[in-house]
Structure 1
């Protein structure tokens, strides 16, 4: 892993566990084993690092969702996605959704981080839609409805666990495949 990737991975963990505003540049640099000067040389500013971390998490999350949906089709697609969300929200490293957290910390809809998080959520919906429509057992309108339903339920599960309501996730427990 090169230094830039190490800084991004370290910043991701710190932002995810402590929040964007709670992490100063000195902490980020120190935890990555580098200097503020090097951090600025790679990202220009803390904002540049935040944007890079959101991109990193977007790619990481998409790979996990695609893996969860791989080989799944038809009626099991929605269940597979919700099973993925349930497993993630009950993993020891779960600290909420980085994109929901970004919208909370940067609540101005004109904030670049709010917009980046919003774009991520739109792309998750599109990924789900593409998976449903590729199944060919339902038409495009039904695929949109199924994708939006899976997305809304998934977001609800994330927020439920993130706000201490994890027992509700039992209603969406492991499905029998």
Structure 2
């Protein structure tokens, strides 16, 4: 794909990302996306065969940057308990922004859940699996016992915080999750040092 075509494709994905995140996938039509991107509908369909393909491209485009941001947040200074707690405290900071409207992957799943086989479902599942793997890698590196199970539990705390903050419009649920996550890892380490 030459530079001009790549730029046009990226502009369409960028426009879709803004509108999908602000308004929702189902509410936004291709006409609005084309107008936001400054292209014709024909050009949009040249790059994407369908709206669903554009939805998939939008989610795939956000997967790696989101994962990289989470990886940086989790790989900070300090011991593993402190790093895990700081990961959730960073979530607290993000959700306090007026621009935050929820996890884009969870929101996408909520909108297309009734469409089995929609590619967005697989992309979101892949993303959440990768987030769980981030937790597991950090825990295994610190030899936290039962790292795989602990990673699942941390993912549940993370997802629960995302949902509760959105549903209740209360960022403090991220603080509660930070405390629970730190306690979870601390207890797991303490159990190991006690020889249990």
- Given the two structures, how large is their TM-score scaled by the length of structure 2? 0.79
1:41 aligns with 2:46: yes
Give the distance between the partners of 1:78 and 1:70, measured in 2 at CA: 9
> Displacement of 1:172 after TM fit?
4.4
Distance 2:134 2:173 in 1: 25
- Once structures 1 and 2 are overlaid, which stretch shifts more, 82-91 or 27-36? 82-91
Choose the corresponding residue for 1:168, options 149, 173, 176. Answer: 173
Deviations 1:41-66 (A, max 9, x none): 11222111100000011112111101
Q: Which has the larger radius of gyration?
A: 2
Aligned mate of 2:131, from 113, 124, 129: 124
Tell me the residue number matched to 1:62.
Answer: 67
Structure 1: how far apart are the matches of 2:45 and 2:137? 38
Distance 1:170 1:69 in 2: 16
CA displacement at 1:170 relative to structure 2:
4.2
Contact 1:78 1:147 in 2 (8 A): no
Q: Which runs of 5+ in 2 are unaligned?
A: 1-5, 183-196
Q: Does the Cα contact within 8 Å between 1:25 and 1:36 map onto a contact in 2?
A: yes
Deviates more, 1:72-81 or 1:59-68: 72-81
Alignment of 1:94 onto 2:103? no
The 2-side partners of 1:165 and 1:126 are apart by 28
1:71 is displaced (CA, Å) by 3.2
The one of 9, 15, 27 aligned to 1:10: 15
Is 2:118 aligned against 1:114? no
Moved more, 111-120 or 28-37: 111-120
Once the two structures are superposed, residues 140-172 of structure 1 have per-residue CA deviations (whole angstroms, 9 ceiling, x without a partner) of x2x223322221111111111111241433434
CA distance in 2, matches of 1:79, 1:129: 15
Q: Structure 1 or 2: larger helix share?
A: 2
The answer for unaligned runs of 5 or more in structure 1 is: none
| 1:31 positional shift | 0.5
Between stretches 152-161 and 66-75, larger displacement belongs to: 66-75
How many equivalent pairs are there? 172
Pick from 145, 156, 161 the counterpart of residue 152 of structure 1. 156
The corresponding residue for 2:25 is 20
Instruction: Tell me which moved more, 83-92 or 153-162.
Output: 83-92
Aligned mate of 2:86, from 61, 80, 99:
80
Deviations, residues 23-54 of structure 1 (Å, cap 9, x unaligned): 10000000111111111111222111100000
